[in-house]
A = this chain, B = another copy of it.
Amino acid sequence: MILRYDRLAVELPKPKNPSPNDAAAVQELLGGKFGEMSTLMNYTFQSFNFRGRDRLRPFYDLTCSIAAEEYSHIEAVSYAINLLLTGTTVRGKDPVPAPLKDATDARNTYHFIASGQTALPVDSMGNPWTGANVFSSGNLKLDLLHNFFLECGARANKMRVYEMVSDPCARTMIGYLLVRGGLHVVAYAKALEKLTGVEVTKLVPVPELSNDAFPEAKKLQDQQKLHLKLYTFSPDDYKQAGIIWTGNHPEDGQPLEVIQGGFQGVPYPKLEEEPQLNSPGADDYDPDMFKDIAKKMGMKM
C-alpha cells in the first residue's frame, strides 16, 4: 500500500516559451518504452511477484524502494508537460475565433482533444504506453540485468530529449531524472555485483557521456549529492536496500548513503485554467456553499 503526499520532488520553473512540440517530445520520458511509466511498472510488478524474498530480502527491498521513487518521476514528467502546454492557446470561451487553431499543427493533437492541455500516458509519437513494456521473469539475475539495461536505455532517452528541448522547465526536470536515474543504474549494477561478484558498476556510464555535461544535473549532484542518496520512500520498510547500496559511487568515489523515507519536495506548481477547453469548467460551482461543512470538519479552505 502507499500513502501519497501532495508535493513534487523537484521545483520546476515556469516555462519561458511554452511549446506543444516540446511537450510532445517530453512525453517519451513519460509513456515511451523507456519512460517513467515503464520503470515504475516494471519494478512495481517485480516487487509484487518476488518469490523467495525472505532469502533475498536486500534485493526485494532495493526494488521496492526504487519502485516507490518512480512514482515521483511520472509525477515530475507530467507536471513539466502540463506546464509546457499551459497557455499555448488563446484563452477565452468563444469557440468562433478558433482559439485552438495552432494545435492543428502540433505533433500531438491528443493534448488538445483528449486532454485539457495536459499529460497522457503516451510516447513522443502519441502511441500509448503498454503493459507489454513490463518485464517480470521472476529470475532475479535476469530481472536485475533487465533493470540495469532499462535504466541505461532510459538514460539515453533522457539525454536525447534534453538535447531537443532547451526550456528551463523541461531541463530542470530532465536534470533531476538524469541524476536519479543514474543512481538507479548504479543501484542495479551494485545488486548484480552483490549477486555475482562481477564488477558491473565499472560499465557505467552507459551511454558514455557523464552527467557533468548537463548543468542542471551537475548542480543537483554538486549541491545536494542527489546521486549518492538512496531513499527508501517508506516510513519504516525496505531498510535492507542498504545492504546493496553501500560503498562509494563508481564515478566520483563519494560515499553512498541510504535515507529512510522520501524527499521533502515542494508544493505542486499551479496549473491555470484553460477555459476554451472547458478545463476544468464548472464555472457555476460555488465553493462557498461548502465552507460551513469545512469549518465544522476543521479544514482550512
Contacts and interface: CB of A to CB of B under 8 A. Distances in A.
B139 A41 contact: no
A196 B53 CA distance: 33
Contacts of A215: 96
* Interface size of A as a range: 35 or more
Leading 6 A-B pairs by shortest Cβ distance: A116-B138, A121-B131, A138-B279, A128-B131, A49-B118, A207-B278
A176 interface: no
Nearest to A290: B243
Interface string A169-207: 000000000000000000000001011111110110011
Contacts of A214: 95-96
Given A1-B72, A141-B281, 9 more contacts: A2-B68, A6-B234, A41-B121, A93-B209, A101-B164, A138-B279, A139-B156, A141-B203, A243-B290
Contact of A142 (B3, B103, B153): B153
A297 to B, nearest CB: 5
A226 interface: no
